[in-house]
Structure 1
Amino acid sequence: MYRNQELYNFLKENSRNLTEEWHENINKQNTAGVYASNDPDVVHALKEQNHEFHLHFIELFKKEEGEFFQDFKPWIEKIASDVEHVKTPIQFVIKEFKNVRNQYFDYIRRFAELHPEIARKEVDIWSDIILKEMDEVILRFIETSFKYSQGVLKAQQETINELSAPVISLSNHQGLLPLIGDIDTTRAKMILENTLHQCSQRDIHHLFVDLSGVAMIDTMVAHQIFQLLNALKLIGVKATLSGMRPEIAQTAVQLGISFKEIDIKTNLAQAIDKGK
């Protein structure tokens, strides 16, 4: 335990040297992202992040593993969501973790040279600890990065889905839902949910659903669209359908969907004009 404290003090005293040596030895020709940057602000931030890493990592010689990782967690989460690191391919981030790990092996040898009385077995124990805990740090970083990326993708997809079914408010409690592009089953379900929510939120009594921007839909999507029209009726919103292409009409007929109770107009201009 006494030797652990001495090693801890040695590494802490050299924490800035660890950072400077690490950054100086980065081969900018064989890396990418944040590690290849020459921007002074980016470089400064990167060095500070690396130094913070050392201040956390050397605590493994003082703390129990559970406490060690609990205190390390905020740093891992910060780097996993850092803009510059997010833009850096994960293999280059892992490569630098391994380079830092090798630095620790080197510094342990330096420490042992300063203290000839230290047995080889003790050096091996320290090396095994560093290897084990660094691998665990890398694993936790990868897991945290993945969760962050998944969260970002989910948020982006939700935004895209919301924008893909925009209800445009018109006068006299009227609204317009212009559907454009390909519609798959997932998007069709999102359109149904978003449209009902927006009509209720904006107090829309009459919604014009325009399909002129939709070239083709499959039977499942056609069913979803007509479910939307029925759902609108249930919440007291009158729906007028316009811009239906022959291909879409044919699909609806094949499904056995009845047009009797659906207000249909040839084009959007006609629908809005009749809705006045």
Structure 2
Amino acid sequence: MHRNQYLYEYLKENSNNMTEEWYGNIDKLNTAGVYASNDPGVIRALKKQNHDFHLHFIELFNKGEQEFFQDFEPWIIEIASDFEHINTPIQYVIREFKNVRNQYFEYIRRFVQMNPGITRGEVDLWYDVILKEMDEVILRFVEATYRYSQNVLKAQQETINELSAPVISLSNHQGLLPLIGDIDTSRAKMILENTLRQCAKRDIHHLFVDLSGVVMIDTMVAHQIFQLLNALKLIGVKTTLSGIRPEIAQTAVQLGLSFKDNEIRTNLAQALEQK
């Protein structure tokens, strides 16, 4: 049997011990997140994750690099999206990766003491492999964490966008867009994109746009609202405006924007009476 295989078997036999030793050596006074938890359920899950790590990592002495990482990838993605690890500062997660790496060096030293015939060259080769592959695991973990956080941010932004322009479905293919608060250029753009998408998705033929909750509006935003009305017209959606404040009307006049093709009502109650 090749010595790599002997080392593989040795590490596999000691994988449970490695997990217990690792957890016992965590500096719980100078860490945070999952590593500082006193919750028995969290601790059990953490130990299982660490043991699963060992069962994957020791395969570097038993498999080719491509197959090794192909099998390892699900574990990396799982930890990168794990609630407890997400809520742990990443520097502490990286520190524990390094502690586990040093633990492997210690176990190789123990293995060498049990097998005096092992050469220095073999030990150096094992050290190099562990360094190289652990660095790659850490890099892939950071990349997976970044991808997960970006996906979460994207989902949150989509939710914010929808809340910024909540198209409420009414009966008979009608909908309501109540605009509230300050509208800057960025929010106006989101309102335009989200409203068109929601109207098409919900098969809305007539949209009531209420501006009574809009406090301030500048010339650029007034122009964006006018663009929204024109875009809705292009996709076959009729619009009724309500709650236009005097300052908004004045801004529209100054810009030369005409709402003559849109129904206008003083307030939302009047607008909805025509339903």
Tell me, yes or no, whether TM beats 0.5.
yes
Give the drift of 1:81. 0.9
Residue number in structure 1 paired with 2:54 = 54
Find the counterpart in structure 2 of residue 107 from structure 1: 107
- Residue in 2 aligned with 1:148? 148
Could you tell me which amino acid in structure 2 is paired with residue 132 of structure 1? Answer: K
Partner of 2:41 in structure 1? Answer: 41
Shift of 1:44: 0.7
> What amino acid sits opposite 1:48 in the alignment?
K
Q: What amino acid is the match of 1:230? A: N
State the distance in 2 between where 1:122 and 1:251 align.
79
Which 4+ runs in 1 deviate beyond 4 A? none
Q: What is the Cα deviation at residue 173 of structure 1?
A: 4.0
Helix, strand or coil at the partner of 1:38: coil
How many matched pairs?
275
Q: Deviations over 1:37-87 (max 9, x none)?
A: 111111111111100100110111121211111111111011111111111
The residue aligned with 1:23 is 23
Corresponding position of 2:253: 253
Distance in 2 (CA, whole Å) between partners of 1:116 and 1:202 is: 75
The answer for unaligned runs of 5 or more in structure 1 is none
Q: Which structure 2 residues correspond to residues 126-145 of structure 1 after superposition, within 5 A?
A: 126-145=126-145
Amino acid aligned to 2:156: Q
Residue in 1 aligned with 2:183? 183
Question: Which is further off, 99-108 or 255-264?
Answer: 255-264
Matched residue of 2:211: which SS?
Answer: strand
CA spacing shift, 1:90–1:182, aligned 2, 3 Å: farther
Counterpart position of 1:14:
14
The residue identity in structure 2 corresponding to 1:264 is I
The structural deviation recorded for 1:226 is: 1.0
| 16-25 or 229-238, which deviates more | 229-238
Residue 76 of structure 1 aligns to a residue in which SS? helix
- The match for 1:72 is 72
Tell me the residue number matched to 2:231.
231
In structure 2, what residue type is equivalent to 1:131?
Answer: L
Most deviating of 243-252 and 23-32: 243-252
SS of residue paired to 1:207: strand
1:121 match: 121
Change (3 A) 1:66 1:205: closer
Q: Match for 1:130: what amino acid?
A: I
Report the secondary structure of 2:257's partner residue: coil
Superimposed CA distance per residue, residues 117-164 of structure 1 (whole angstroms, 9 cap, x where no aligned partner): 222232122111111110110000000110011011101111221122
Q: Which residue does the alignment assign to 2:32?
A: 32
* Residue identity in the other structure for 2:129: I
Question: Cα RMSD (Å) of the superposition?
Answer: 1.9
Structure 1 residues 20, 271: closer, same or farther in 2, change over 3 A? same
Q: Which runs of 5 or more structure 2 residues have no equivalent in the other structure?
A: none
What is the DSSP-based 3-state SS (H/G/I as helix, E as strand, rest coil) of the residue aligned with 2:176? strand
SS at match of 1:18: helix
* Overall identity of the aligned pairs, in %: 79
Q: State the AA in 2 paired with 1:72.
A: F
Task: Give the Cα separation in 2 of the matches to 1:268 and 1:234.
Answer: 24
Between 32-41 and 260-269, the greater mean CA deviation after superposition: 260-269
CA apart distance, 1:189: 3.0
